[in-house]
Structure formats: C-alpha cells, structure tokens
Structure 1
Amino acid sequence: MSIRWNRTFSDLIRRSRPAYWGNWALNAQIRPGAVGIVDAETGDFRLVREQLPNVELLHTATSSSWQLMSERVSRTEASVDVSAEATDPDSGIKGEAGLEVSWSMANSNSIASEFSLRQESFLRDLTVVERSVDWLAEQAQSVGFGGNGQIAQGFGVVTNVIFANSGLNVGSQSSDASFSIAGRASAVQEMLGGASGKGSFSSIRKARDVDRHLWPDQANTRPVEPVPIAYSFASFDGRLLMPNWIGKLGGFQIFFNNRPGSTYITRILLTYNTPSGPRREQFEISGGLSRTIGNIPLDATDLNLDVTFVGMINSDRYRRHWARPLGQWLTGQRHIEMSGVWPGATHFSVLEE
C-alpha cells in the first residue's frame, strides 16, 4: 500500500496550524484564488481553474523558519569538505567551509520538513468566494462535483498560501531510512531557515528509502521564485460556504461526558438557529454517563450551550456560545468534559478549546 504523503504531511501541520493542508510535492499550481479539488483521503490538490474572477490578494512577509518532524526523526549537522563540488551560484567561485545536514528516520511514514519562509498570501476579502457561487457551481459541474447550482464538498478555492524561499520535504518509505544534503555552510543554512532567499545545496550525500522534494531542485542553483508549502481551502456544501474545509462534514456533533466518580447531575440546555427556525434540546446526565447530540445542521448559527451542575443549595453554571460553528468547528465536533464531587468544586471543559 502506497503512503499518502500529503495526508500525513497535512496531519503533522495541523498540530500547530489546524486549518491547513500541506503541499508535500511542492505543487506550483497552488496559489491564492486557485480553483480546484482537494481529495479528503489523500490531501492532494487538482487544479480546475487558475484563478477565481475578481480576486484581490494581500501578501504578508515572514522571515521565520519552518521545521516539522515526526516522532523518532533525528537531525544532525557536521562539517564536511565540499571544495570540489560546491560553487557559489552568483560568483561561480568554489570554496568556503562545507556543511552536511542529515535526517535519520527510525520508522516508516515519518517526515522531516524544513524551509526558509518567504511570505503568506491570501484573499483580501473572503466574501468574493461566496459572491462567486454561481460561477463556481458551473466549474464544479464540469468536473463532476456539482449540479443544479449545487457544489459538492471538496471542490472550492485556495484562500491562503504559505510560501517559502527554499527547503525540502523528506519522508521515510521504510524503517531506518536516511537522507542528507551538503554544500557551502552559509548556503545550506539559508536553504533550511534563512531569510535572504539565497539558499542552495551542492549534493545529496545520502538517500536511502526516502521520498523527497527539494527547492531548489537542482544542485548549485538558487530558486527563481518562492514555492507553496501549505494552504487553506474554502469549499461548499450545496451553496453553503465552508470557509476552512479540512474534510467532509455531514453535520455537527457534541459529545458530553459526565466523568466516572462525579456525584453531580448535569442539566444540559442546547439551543441554536437554523434557516427553518430555532431548535432546542434539554436533558440531564448523571455521573459516569455520557451522551451525544448529532446531526446538528451545518447551517446552524448562534449555538448556545448552558450546563448546570445541580447542587443542594446552589448550582454551578457554565455557558458557551458559538456564533457560526461552520467557521469555528473545523472537525465538526466538540467534546465536553464534566466532573465534580459534591459539595466540592465542579469542572467543565471543551477539549478542542
């Protein structure tokens, strides 16, 4: 079974950037405003139209480095002699101290990703996507992702892109895989985290059982333009805009857990609005029990949760409000943890927040 590198890469990115997809193979077609399809299973992007009409972009410069590694991936640096192979791309002069950077991966399907970041580029106004729903529906229908003015989830628009000057993605195809690059010390350091945009390498010293994508992709050259490494994506459910789409959703779910050992009964009141009218659910959960509310529609708004720990004299109350879960609940779920032993303190938390 082949490894779904972009899916694995995206999952790693979402530990710190929950709304993003990765661009493992450094697909240059991923640009803000690009219209296409994201496969929820593999994470791969397929371009349908180069640009959404009437798009205006903003760009924010960033000079920070990007470094992501899976568990049991080790990174080392060592001085090496590259006098015979390293050439300055500008002057053509050989020399300078050499540096070799190596990654060792104990497990298969592990990832090392390092880049020198350049900028973030994004749509000036996300409402342009919603205003273009008719045009987008036509494009979706042409590739089998819609019909009758409706758009299927997975078809949409790239809204934000992180660009890098240079760097690399490396993944282990088996246990004990390894990879290393070498070059002039300053050029390799710039390639993996500098801000000048002048990073390069002179050679690949070791490549055992790895899938790799480098920028620049040739030795002793400098990248001509920045490369996209991660992006956010807006899709639709019918004609309902899903501004940060990271996977297919059929509806929202809330999981309530009144933890074992809790002696409080919790009284739950959930209300929200839908285009067809307001909804309301109310129930109680004893200690050690749980309950799930599912099938909350994707177009629900102004969702209010009121949790009361019922006491003999006084009761503790906790409240949460979500104006538009579709833009806030990326996975479509919230897990509510509750506990307390009377007459002591009560505890309430939303695990995703």
Structure 2
Amino acid sequence: MEALQFLVAKDSKRQSVYALVGDEDFLKRYARERIISVALGEEDPSFAVSVYAGDRLDFSTVRNELETLPFLAPCRVVIVESADKFVTDNRPALEAYFAKPSRVGVLILDVKTFPENTKLAKALPDAAKIACKAPPAYKLPPWCVDWAKTAHKKKLAMNAAELLVELVGTSMGLLDQEIGKLANAVGSKAGISVEDVDALVGRSKAADVFRIMDAVGEGRPGEALSILQELFAEGEDPMAVIGPLTAQLRKLATVGRLHFVEKIALGPAMDAANVPKWDKARISCEKQMKHLGGRRLLKLPDWLVEINYGLKGGNPLPERVQVERLVVTLARPREDAKR
C-alpha cells in the first residue's frame, strides 16, 4: 500500500507486523505515527512504544519485548529502525514469527528494501507493507496544495506550489518545513501566493541549475555563466553544481534520443525521461531542446562522460573552468542557427 493512501485511510485495521519500505523519511515518520495511533487508540504511547536500532540488535530482545504484556495500553509497539541488517541476519526467526506473531505486540520494521519475492514479504498482507517513497515530481505540487490545507490550514495556490517544488526540490520533509514557514510568515492571510513563495523561500542548488538551464534555453550564455559564477563566488563547490546539472542534462539527452532517433513525439518522450509535467517544466524543456538542436542533444552523453572524467582528475584545468566551459558550450547559439 502506498504511504499516502495509508495515511488517509479511515478504516485501518491493526496488523501484527508492518514493513515501512523506502527512503522517504517524511512518509515513514507519519506512517509510524499513524500505526501507533491505530494500535493504541487514545492511550499514552509513553509506556507502550519501544524503539531499537537494527544494526546492533538480536531477535530475542525484540521477541521478548513483543511478548511483554503492555501497561495501560491495548498492545505493545516495537519499532526497529534501519532494520535491513536485522532482517537479513534474522530471516528464519522472522519467518517463524510472521507465521505466529504475538497477540499483544505490533512490530514495525523500518527498511530501505523489502523484495516481494521473499517469504517475509509474501507472509504480509498488502495493508502491512507501506511503500514510503516520494511520489513522482509532477505529483508533488498537488500534494503540497493538499498538505498545506490539511496540516497548516492554508490555501496554497497551484502556481505557488509548482514554484515551491522548483525551489526546494523533491524532498517531502523539506517541502513540509517550507510550507510550515510560509504558513507562519503569512500570518492571518488565508492563502499563500506565488509572490510569497518567491519572496520567502530560498533557492536550492537544483533551483539554481534550473535558472542556468533556463538561460541556456534562451540562448543567453552570458547570463548562464553569470549565475554559475555567482554560485562559485558564494563558495559553492563545482562538484556540488555538476550533480544537479548532470541530472537535468541526462533528461534532455534521453528526450533528444527518443525524439530525434526513435521518432517519438515530444510529449511522450518527456514522459519517458521523467520531465515534470507542470507547464513551466515542459515549456523550459522544449526551449532547451529547440536551442540545443538534435546534433548537440545527441552529443550530450559524450560531453557528460568527458566532464565526469575531467572532474575526477582526467583534465588539468581547474574544476570551475571545466564546468564553465560546459555551460558556455550549451548556451552558445547552434552552428546551424539562422543569423
């Protein structure tokens, strides 16, 4: 079951074992709170919830805790954090426990992976396997709108939500923090506007890369280089810039290959490359495609290999200069462009 679906379900039935699977800590935190609420109802969790680190834990400790009668609560909840090693080391014991779990205990395993083809995964119903993975980027603005209303009692405009995701990135925890800050900052105002987001939310490295790529798409090498130099002047490491820049260029390279080589229409090609579906992202991608042209788009994978090799010591030029040269190469007009 998807975590967002689990969090809003009104008829959740208590399970003996839960697996919180994935790498989105925000969803795991709220899913854990939801499980505790389902398991304990209105009772105080202070005496009924135990938390263990899974990297240094033996199964007998967990089993004894799960079998201990709860104090002033309907059951005992045992949470094993970072439980991948614990699961691997105690698989046979867990398989036996899953087959006959404690009647007074609820076990929550917080894991990165939980393969569906294992006996453990097959032993749990879908309702007990909570997928805690961030939704695709294009689904995050609508989620931000819903979350602002639900958690912070504010109406977040959709264009403000789109800008928020562009500025902050796809971490749901960071998005929640920024929505909370915005809700406090606007005070008694009922809503949060795009102007509020633009004025109050800081830009992430990914957002700065979007600005660089927007300048590239407009064919403005001077502006693209100026943004990049601002980052370096602020002390940003070239390796920290090249990461999100490379991610964007890989998407463009994929769109270019699908569109120009495999003759797939631009919209489906963007879908396949995981280009966000909100209007601004699609328009920017199309501008960058048009500016670069088929020849340069098809060269992008080679250029990315080249700069990756160069930044790892394969090029004697300073790292900063290598990144600047790549940006200028991208932003300058096409050789075949009309003059």
Same fold per TM (> 0.5)? no
For this structure pair, what is the TM-score category when the shorter chain's length is used for normalisation? under 0.3
Report the structure, 1 or 2, having the larger helix content.
2
User: So what's the TM-score if we normalise by structure 1?
Assistant: 0.22
User: So what's the TM-score if we normalise by structure 2?
Assistant: 0.22
